[in-house]
Every structure is written in structure tokens, then in C-alpha cells.
């Protein structure tokens, strides 16, 4: 009479062990990630249908090894080349919500300051898994790539990319960050005359190159300033980014003021916007170019010997 009872208990214990093992495996499969707004997102499996709502997000998903899982992107998602062939879901600030829903995404990655808050609220109300990306600094790029890898189950690729990015940044910092300081004005537009403050990505790149943003202390990320304010600050260099890969004609407007230090020493430079305004690994290409330009500024100081670093 005791044998069946023992056998039943043994069978029950084995069944319980299997259930606990399966529960443990399922628990481990849950992906938990905190976005840049401190909201926690849970996915029960790696994302396989991702919609990206900003060009920098698209580019970083490819860097994280998740490009093959993107099913829709916002306008101007043009890097890498494969991104150009993906379905569009509208511009960052004018999203086509119906197009997004029709793609049946299991993950939507949005841009905190670039996408409409009302649109994001609607997507969340629909029940789509929403992850907000809002990078500010250079290091945030590596963090974002690593998080995208977690969400897509491509952490091996993503973590390698993040480490390589930070290693390159550290190398640039060691070469340029402590070089003699260059006071610079960074112009992002001409009418109205606009710049960036110290919290914007471009300022972080400037610091990496040993340059000081003369308007770092302003409260807005992209403030409007006056010509008079620039002249009063008398920057040693003026750097501009236009709308595309072409040097903007308005950069040479500053040649009218011959007593301006940047003009007198011909320190008027251009950096293509895609490699300095987007929070992607290519920002270090922009940093390398800007750092080289700041070395040129140093070499043009009265009495300086040409010690520009390659």
C-alpha cells in the first residue's frame, strides 16, 4: 500500500520541479529595460517587429545588430544604406499613427524631445510597447545601443559596438580634451541666428576637443542669439553646420567683421550636420573633424608653432 503513495509523491515532486524549471526559464526570458524617461518596459521575448521614430534611433538599431528587425522608420532615416529601403511612418513630429499600427510592431522606439507627446500618448493608449530614447551626451549613445541590443536580443553585437564606441571616444579625449582651450561659437542656423547650449550634444563634442562653447550657460538647448552678442564674446573660432553636406554660405557672413578674432585668423569652419547633430556612433567622425579644426585654431595663434595633431 505504501509503494503507490511513494511513487505518486515522487511523480508529483518531479512534476513540480519541471513546472518550476519552466517558470524559471520563462522568467529569464522576460526582458526588462528602463528608458530615458525612467519608465520600465517589459517584453516577454526579444522584439522582432520594431518601428523607429527618429533617424538616430534607426541608425543605432543597426549598430546594435537589430537592423533586420526594423519594419518601419521615420523620414530622414538614411543611414546605413539599408535604412533607406524601409517603410516610412511619417516625420518625427508628424507621425502616421495608422501606418505604425498597420505594421503590427512588438516594439516602438520613440524620440523623447522630437516626437509629438500627443502621438506618443496615443500609441501607448493603443497598447503598443513604447520605449523612449532621449540621449543628451556622447556616452548616452553607447548606453542606448546596449539597451537596444537587450530589447532585440542582440546584446553580443550591441555590447561590442558600445565598447568600441567608448574606446574611440576615450582615445580622442586623451589626445584633445586637455589641449589649450579654444573659445568657440557654434552656429546651427542663420535666420534667426541660432546656437546650442552646454547641455546639447554638440557642446559635449566641443569639450572633447578642448573647446569652450561661448553660449554654454544659456537655458534653452537651441537658443536664438544676436550678432551683437557674438561680437561681444569675440570667439576665437566659429563653426557651423547647415542642412546638408554642403558648407553653408552664411558662414562667411562673419567676414564682414574683420576685427572679430575668428575672422582675422580665418577660423571659420564647417562640420556636416549628420556627423555631429545625430546621437549615433558617427558623432565621433564629427568629433575627429572638429578636433582637427581646433588644432588648426591653436596653430594660428600669434607666436604659435604648428603642432597640429593628425
Q: DSSP labels for 152-196?
A: HT-HHHHHHHHHHHHHHHHHHHHHHTTSSPEEEEEESBTTTTB--
Q: What are the cell numbers at 63?
A: 549598430
User: Where do the domains of the chain lie, and which CATH numbers do they carry?
Assistant: 35-163 (3.40.50.1980), 177-299 (3.40.50.1980)
Angle between helices 201-208 and 283-299 (to 10 degrees): 50
Within 8 A by CB and 6+ apart from 10, the residues are: none
Strands of 235-286 (E only): list them: 237-240, 268-270
Sequential pLDDT tens for the chain (310 residues): 433 433 445 544 544 444 444 444 444 578 999 999 999 999 999 999 999 999 999 999 999 999 999 999 999 999 999 999 999 999 988 999 999 999 999 999 999 989 999 999 999 999 999 999 999 999 999 999 999 999 999 999 999 999 999 999 999 999 999 999 999 999 999 999 999 999 999 999 999 999 999 999 999 999 999 999 999 999 999 999 977 778 999 999 999 999 999 999 999 999 999 999 999 999 999 999 999 999 999 999 998 875 555 5
Q: What pLDDT score does 232 carry?
A: 98
**CB-CB contact of 293 with 264 (8 Å):** no
281 cis-preceded (ω within 30 degrees of 0): no
State residue 306's pLDDT score: 57
User: What pTM was estimated for this model as a whole?
Assistant: 0.86
Instruction: Report CA dihedral (121, 82, 201, 33) to the nearest 10 degrees.
Output: 50
Amino acid at each position: 500500500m505504501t509503494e503507490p503513495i511513494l511513487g505518486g509523491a515522487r511523480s508529483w515532486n518531479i512534476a513540480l520541479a519541471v513546472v518550476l524549471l519552466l517558470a524559471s526559464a520563462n522568467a529569464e526570458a522576460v526582458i526588462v529595460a528602463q528608458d530615458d524617461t525612467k519608465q520600465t518596459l517589459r517584453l516577454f521575448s526579444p522584439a522582432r517587429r520594431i518601428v523607429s521614430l527618429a533617424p538616430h534611433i534607426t541608425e543605432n538599431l543597426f549598430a546594435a545588430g537589430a537592423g533586420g528587425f526594423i519594419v518601419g522608420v521615420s523620414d530622414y532615416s538614411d543611414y546605413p544604406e539599408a535604412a533607406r529601403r524601409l517603410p516610412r511612418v511619417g516625420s518625427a513630429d508628424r507621425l502616421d499613427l495608422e501606418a505604425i499600427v498597420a505594421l503590427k510592431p512588438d516594439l516602438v522606439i520613440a524620440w523623447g524631445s522630437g516626437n509629438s507627446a500627443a502621438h506618443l500618448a496615443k500609441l501607448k493608449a493603443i497598447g503598443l510597447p513604447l520605449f523612449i530614447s532621449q540621449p543628451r551626451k556622447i556616452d548616452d549613445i553607447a548606453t542606448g545601443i546596449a539597451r537596444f541590443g537587450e530589447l532585440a536580443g542582440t546584446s553580443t553585437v550591441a555590447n561590442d559596438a558600445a565598447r568600441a564606441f567608448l574606446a574611440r571616444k576615450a582615445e580622442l579625449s586623451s589626445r584633445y580634451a586637455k589641449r589649450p582651450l579654444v573659445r568657440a561659437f557654434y552656429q546651427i542656423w542663420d535666420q534667426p541666428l541660432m546656437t546650442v547650449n552646454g547641455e546639447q550634444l554638440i557642446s559635449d563634442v566641443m569639450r572633447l576637443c578642448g573647446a569652450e562653447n561661448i553660449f554654454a550657460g544659456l537655458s534653452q538647448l537651441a537658443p536664438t542669439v544676436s550678432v551683437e552678442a557674438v561680437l561681444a564674446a569675440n570667439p576665437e573660432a566659429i563653426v557651423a553646420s547647415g542642412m546638408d553636406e554642403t558648407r553653408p554660405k552664411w558662414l562667411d557672413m562673419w567676414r564682414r567683421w574683420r576685427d572679430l578674432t575668428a575672422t582675422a585668423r580665418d577660423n571659420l569652419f564647417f562640420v556636416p550636420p549628420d556627423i555631429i547633430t545625430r546621437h549615433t556612433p558617427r558623432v565621433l567622425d564629427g568629433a575627429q573633424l572638429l578636433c582637427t579644426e581646433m588644432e588648426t585654431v591653436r596653430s594660428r595663434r600669434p607666436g604659435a608653432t604648428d603642432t597640429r595633431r593628425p
